[in-house]
Structure 1
Amino acid sequence: MAYMTGYPILGITSNILQLLIVENDDTEFHVLSYYEEPHSAIKDGNLVDANELIDKIKKVYEKTNFFLNTTINDALLVFPDVQATIKGNDLGILLNTEGTEITLTHIRELLRETAKKAQAVNQQLLNIYPISFTVNDVSDIENPQGLIGNSISLKSVSVSVPEGLFMNVLHTIEQSGINVLDIFPAFYCNVTEVASGLNLKTGGNVIDVGYDYTAISIYENGIPKKIRILRQGMKGLADILAKKYQISHDNAYDLLKTSVYLDEKTAEELVVYRLELPTGVLDITEQDLAQTLSAYLEELIVEIRDVLEHFGKQSQFPIIFIGELLKIPGGKEVISSFFDKKEIYFYTSDVVGLREFNVTQLIGCAKLLPIREKLLKQNYETAKTEDIRLEDKNSKKKVQQQEKQKDEKEKKFWDKITTYFFD
C-alpha cells in the first residue's frame, strides 16, 4: 500500500496535455512526476474532439498513478490563454461599526460580490485572483483573516474566457472522472514564474510563442495587466514547410523541431533532411530551411512589436520570450535581431528533470498555490489515498461508490458552473 501527497497540476495547451505532480515545503517544491500527451482536441480556440481529450486525460492520470503507486483524481487546472480578458477590480464591504474579526466568510463574500461585477460580455468568468486587501485605512494586506475592522475591501484581477470553451473543457475533465479544485489562466502562471525566476518584479512583457497562437501579456509589480493573442505560432511555421515540400503537417512539425536552424545569416549549406519524392530525392539544407521560414518569423515579430507599442509606457518593460520557439536553434538570434535596442530575455524554467519540456506555466501555478491555499483555507494537495488493488475484496464496492459519486457530480455540474469556487 502506498501513500503520497502533492499538487496535481493539469495543463492544457492547444496541442499538449500535461500533468505535473509537485510537493511543496517551506522553501521549494519537488517534482514527483510529469507526463504529457500530444492532442488535437482543441483547434482555433474551440474544443472539437471531447472523446480524444477524455482519452488523453485518462492516459496521463493512469501513467501517473501507476508510477506513484497511488490514486489521484483531482486537478488544479491551468487553462489555455485563448481570448482571455483581464479586468482589475476594487470592491469593499462594511462590517460592524464597533469592529468585527475578519474571517474566511468575509473573504468569500468579497469574492462573490466581485464575481457579479467582473463578468465580461459574452464570456465566462474563469476565476478571481486577490492582489491585496484593505482593512479600515490599512492597505496592502496579503491575508486579513484574524484582523479587527469595520470595513474591508479587495483589490483583485478577474479573468474571463469564451463561455463555450470553458464549459466544454470543464465538462470533459469531469467526464474523465477528475475533480477540478481550482483554475489558473496560463498567462498568469507564466507571469508568476518569469517574474520569480528572473527577479523582474517591477514589470515585463511575457511573449509565449505556442503551437496555435502567441500570447503577449504585460505585468507590472507582479500583477498581469493586459493580454493579447496573435493567431500565429509554431503551427504556421510547420504549415509553410508542409506546403513547400508537399509533406504532411505532422512530418513538417517533426522537421521543424529536429532539423530546422532559424537564423539565415549563420545557416550553412549543410543537408539536414532528405525527402523521398515521386520525382526523386530532395535534399534540404539548413540555409534553405532558414530562408523559407524567415519571412513568417519577420511577420510574427512585426505583429508582436505593434502590440507592444500599442501597450504604451508599459511596453518599455523588459521583453521575455518563452515557449516552443526557443527550442529551435537560431531562434534566439532571429528574435534578438528585431529587438536590438530592447532588454531581451529568453526564459525556460530551470527545474531538474523538466528542462527539456515547456512547463513554465505549470511551475508558475505551483508557486501560486500555497498563497491561494492559505488565503482560502483549502487543501489543494492530493488526498492521502490508499492504492485500490484488484485483489482487494472491497474494491468492487469502492468502484461502485465512486461511480455513484461521479453520477451525482454530473447532475450537479451545470447548476454549479456559474458559482464554481465561491460558495
Structure 2
Amino acid sequence: MGTHFILGLDVGNSSLKAVLIEKGKEGIPRLRGVFQHPSAGLRRGAVVDFADLSQAIASLLMEVKKVSRKAVKNVYLGMSTEKIRAQHSQGVTAISRVDSEIYEDDKERVLRATEAIRLPANWKIVYTALREYIVDGVGDIFNPIGLKGSRLEASALVISVFAPHLEEVRKAVEMGGGIVSDFVPVPIADSFSTLSKNQKSLGVAVIDIGAETTGVSAYNEGKLLGMATLPFGAKNITKDIAVGLKIPMEAAEMLKRKYGYASAKEVGAKEVIELREFLGDEKAKVSRRFFVEIISARLAEILQFVHDELASWGTIKELAGGAILIGGGAKLAGLSELVRQELKLTSQIGCCVLRDWENTERYEEYLDDPEFAAAFGIAAWGAEEEQWQERFSSLPQGRKGIRRTLRKIISLFSP
C-alpha cells in the first residue's frame, strides 16, 4: 500500500499556511510538515490578481514537494472569504412503507430536501450540517434508522459559497501542481483543531480573527448552531494606526505587534512610545494610551458584529464554554479580557488539541500558535472525511458530498 498524504491548505489574505499529514498505523495521522508563505492577490477572500496568487501558492507547494511529490496530490482547501454563508433549512419526507420503518434512503432523501433552497446566481452548496431528525413531531433524534413513523423531517444548516472565488483558487493550486480534493469551510474546520467534544456539548463559540476577515461559529449540545465570516480583521486595526499616527503601514504593523494592547484602560496615561526604531526619526513620540485607544476602538466594533451574529443565532446565553480565540489577530495582548467585557463570555486563546497525532513533538510551536489552527483543522477534516480512523466523529452529521459538489463547481466553469 502506497503512502497516503493529506495537505490542509489555509488560503489566507495575508499568509498561506499548510499542514501535511500522512496516514500512519491504524489510521493515526502522522504530522509530516507545517508550512507558511506570504499570500498575495487576495482581498477578503476574493482573487484580485490571479498571477500573484498562483505564484504564492506555487512557492508554498514547492516547499511541500520537498517532503514528497505525492504530498500535493490530495489538497483540502480552506478559504477565508466573506462570500460564504449558512442558512437554516427544514426538509421533510413521507415514510410510505407498509411497516413504516425508516431506512438509509429515507435519511438521504430528507437531507436532499433540506438542500432545496433558493440561492443567488453562482452560489453553490458545499456542505449540509445536520442539526436533528424529527420523526412524527418528536425531535432531537441523532439517527432515525430503524424507528417507525409516517413523517421524517431534518433540520440542517446549509453552507454555500460564491463558486467563482473557489474556482479561481482551485486553478491556482492546480497551476502549482496540486490537486484539490475538497473545499472546507474554515469557520467549521477551526473547531476540528481547537474544540473537544465536551466543549461542543457544553456550548462554545470560536472567533477566528484573520488579517481581513473574522470567522465566527458556535456549537451547543454537539450541534453546529451557526457560522459566518465578517469582512474585517486585524489588518483594519493596522490601517487605523497608520491613519491615526500618519505613519506607513509597515511601521504601523510593527508598532502594533510590539506595543499593541486590546484595552486602553490597562495602559498608563503617561506611557510614551519612542518611534525612532520604526521611523528613523529620533524626535518622534506618541502617547501609548492614544495608540491603544485606536486599537481598542476597532476591536470593540469587530466584537459588536460578532455579538450581533451570536445573538441572531440565539446562542449567547447557551455558551457556557465561552469563546475560543484563534487566528493571527488573537495574539494581541489583552484580547481575552476585552472579549470577556464586550461579549460577557469567558474566553481564552485557542491552541491545537490534536495531540494524539504522531510526530507532534517536533511541531509544538505551531500546535500552540492560534494562527495555524485553521490549517490543522482542515487537515483533520480531510482525515475524517476519508475515514482514516473509525473513532473520528467530529464532522457535523449531514451530507459529506463536498467532492461531489466541487466536481459540479469545476464542471460549471470548465470549457
TM-score by length of 2: 0.74
In structure 1, runs of 5+ residues without a counterpart are: 378-411
**Which residue number in structure 2 is paired with residue 77 of structure 1?**
77
The CA deviation string for residues 72-104 of structure 1, in whole angstroms up to 9 with x for no partner, is: 33311113241322234536587987999988x
- Deviation of 1:286 (Å): 4.2
Structure 2 CA distance for aligned equivalents of residues 15 and 312 of structure 1: 32
Query: Is 1:61–2:61 an aligned residue pair?
Result: yes
Q: Contact between 2:260 and 2:295, CA under 8 Å: does it hold in 1?
A: no
Query: Could you tell me whether the CA contact under 8 Å between 1:100 and 1:149 is conserved in 2?
Result: yes
Q: CA deviation at 1:275?
A: 5.0
8 Å CA contact 2:263, 2:338 repeated in 1: yes
Specify whether residues 248 and 185 from structure 1 end up closer, same or farther in structure 2 by C-alpha distance, changes over 3 A only.
Answer: same
In the alignment, does 2:319 pair up with 1:306? no
Equivalent residue for 1:338, pick from 330, 338, 342: 342
Q: What is the Cα deviation at residue 252 of structure 1?
A: 1.9
| Sequence identity percentage | 17
Q: Equivalent residues in 2 for 1:357-396 (5 A)?
A: 358-374=371-387
Contact 1:192 1:222 in 2 (8 A): no
Partner of 1:224: 224
Q: How does 1:133-144 map to 2 (within 5 A)?
A: 140-141=142-143
Gaps in structure 2 of 5+ consecutive residues: 356-363, 391-406
Q: Which residue does 1:390 correspond to in 2? A: none
Structure 1 contact 126–183 (Cα < 8 Å) conserved: no
Paired residue type of 1:291: E
- Give the direction of change, closer, same or farther, for the CA distance of 1:118–1:17 in structure 2 (3 Å limit): farther
Gap change, CA 1:198 and 1:33, over 3 Å in 2: farther
Question: 3-state DSSP class of the match of 1:281?
Answer: coil
In 2, distance between residues paired with 1:128 and 1:219? 16
The alignment status of 1:207 with 2:207, answered yes or no, reads yes
2:319 paired with 1:320: no
1:14 lines up with 2:13 in the alignment: yes
1:314 CA displacement? 4.9
Residue-by-residue CA offset, 1:313-349 (whole Å, 9 max, x unaligned): 555413333222321222223333334x433333222
Is the Cα contact below 8 Å between 2:5 and 2:23 reproduced in 1?
A: yes
After the TM superposition, which segments of 4 or more aligned residues of structure 1 sit over 4 Å from their partners? 24-28, 68-71, 91-103, 105-115, 132-139, 147-156, 275-280, 412-415
Query: Which one-letter code corresponds to 1:31 in the other structure?
Result: L
**Number of residue pairs aligned between Structure 1 and Structure 2:** 377
Q: Give yes or no for contact 2:12–2:39 (8 Å, CA) kept in 1.
A: no
* RMSD over equivalenced CA pairs, Å: 4.2
CA shift in 2, pair 1:55/1:94, >3 Å? farther
Post-superposition Cα deviations, 1:125-150, rounded to whole Å, max 9, x if no partner, equal 241245489799995239x8xx9999
Question: How many Å separate the matches in 2 of 1:373 and 1:135?
Answer: 28
Match of 1:405 in 2: none
Deviates more, 1:149-158 or 1:160-169: 149-158
CA distance in 2, matches of 1:91, 1:70: 43
Counterpart amino acid of residue 264 in structure 2? E
User: Which residue identity is paired with 2:41?
Assistant: A
* Match of residue 170 from structure 1: 170
| CA deviation string 1:216-270 (max 9, x = no partner) | 2233333333234433311111012212333322332233223423333333526
Deviation of 1:294 after TM superposition, in Å, equals 2.4
Q: Which has the larger radius of gyration?
A: 1
**2-structure distance, mates of 1:45, 1:70:** 27
Say whether 1:416 aligns with 2:415. Answer: no
Partner AA of 1:169 in structure 2:
V
Give the C-alpha shift of residue 56 in structure 1. 1.5
Aligned equivalents of 1:150 and 1:179: distance in 2? 44
For 1:175 and 1:126, locate their aligned partners in 2 and report how far apart those are by CA, in whole Å: 25
Query: TM-score w.r.t. structure 1 length?
Result: 0.72
Aligned residue runs from structure 1 range 227-306, under 5 A: 227-267=227-267, 269=271, 271=273, 273-275=275-277, 281-284=283-286, 286-306=288-308
Check conservation: 1:132, 1:141, Cα contact below 8 A. Answer: no
Instruction: In structure 1, give the amino acid aligned to 2:327.
Output: G
Of the structure 1 ranges 308-317 and 94-103, higher mean CA displacement relative to structure 2 is found in 94-103
Counterpart-to-counterpart distance in 1, 2:101 and 2:241: 65
Tell me, yes or no, if the aligned pair for 1:270 and 1:285 is still in contact at 8 Å.
yes
Q: What SS does structure 2 have at the residue aligned with 1:211?
A: coil
> CA 1:290–1:214 in 2, change beyond 3 Å: closer, same or farther?
same
Mean Cα displacement is larger for which, 181-190 or 303-312?
303-312
Tell me the residue number matched to 2:350. 347
Q: Secondary structure of the equivalent of 2:295?
A: helix
